[in-house]
Structure 1
Amino acid sequence: MKLTGMNKLVNKLDKGMNIDTPVKQIVRKHSSTINRNAQKQAPVDTGELRRSIRTEYQDGGLTGVTRAGAHYAPYVEYGTRFMTAKPFMRPAFYNSAWDFKEELEKLVK
């Protein structure tokens, strides 16, 4: 994904404009959406994979990281030579990426 206008956003943040809080709200909103969608799309056998999907916030809330903590999550996501892939993280990300980008662009304008 390519974000254009990031220089404008960084300049506004550097100038001390009160844009920090709306950015954090957008990050939180879309990170939780990705988390929720990944949990819905994760295949369920015992439920461990679904329960292992967590979101944490870094950089004072400007970065949201959603990951599946189950040790076998990459095998489910990408498949192996013995089993087909059942992606759940990538579709959750791509379903939210466009809206996230559009909200950030509106904020910069």
Structure 2
Amino acid sequence: MGRTSVDAAKLKKKFNKMKDLGPVKKVVRVNTAELQQKAQYGAAVDSGNLKRSIMLQIENAGMTGRVESMAAYGAYVEYGTRFMYAQPYLVPAFLEQKSLFIKDLEALVK
């Protein structure tokens, strides 16, 4: 699956000045969990395996959150094939959560 990330250069400069990154880690954790829930809600359900296979990982000492489908066919459902239409579940959830995540980070540095 494709990688998508949020680039906020202005926020990075402000975070470098912060001493305690605990609140930032909490924002990352909460928004990653919300992204996982939205992706699970939007996933196509035939057997429920795809929905159950959407996992979250917190990495980089709590500064990075990752949500991905562990099902081998997750990318085929997300992007489709020549025989099957796409049923996106991860990208729409990401696009919805991205603005909320940036808003939470901006509120933190004000």
TM over 0.5: yes
Give distance in 2, aligned partners of 1:4 and 1:99.
17
Q: TM-score, normalised by structure 1?
A: 0.89
TM-superposition CA deviations, 1:86-106 (whole Å, max 9, x none): 000001111110010111122
Give distance in 2, aligned partners of 1:97 and 1:10.
21
Partner of 2:22: 21
Give the deviation of 1:45 after TM superposition. 0.7
After the TM superposition, which residues 43-82 of structure 1 pair with which residues of structure 2 at under 5 Å, given as runs?
Answer: 43-82=44-83
Q: Which has the larger radius of gyration?
A: 1
How many pairs does the alignment contain?
A: 104
Give distance in 2, aligned partners of 1:11 and 1:21.
14
TM-superposition CA deviations, 1:43-90 (whole Å, max 9, x none): 001111001000011011111111000000000000111111000000
RMSD between superposed Cα atoms in Å:
1.1
In structure 2, runs of 5+ residues without a counterpart are 1-5
Give distance in 1, aligned partners of 2:17 and 2:82.
48
Give distance in 2, aligned partners of 1:2 and 1:63.
12
Q: TM-score, normalised by structure 2?
A: 0.89
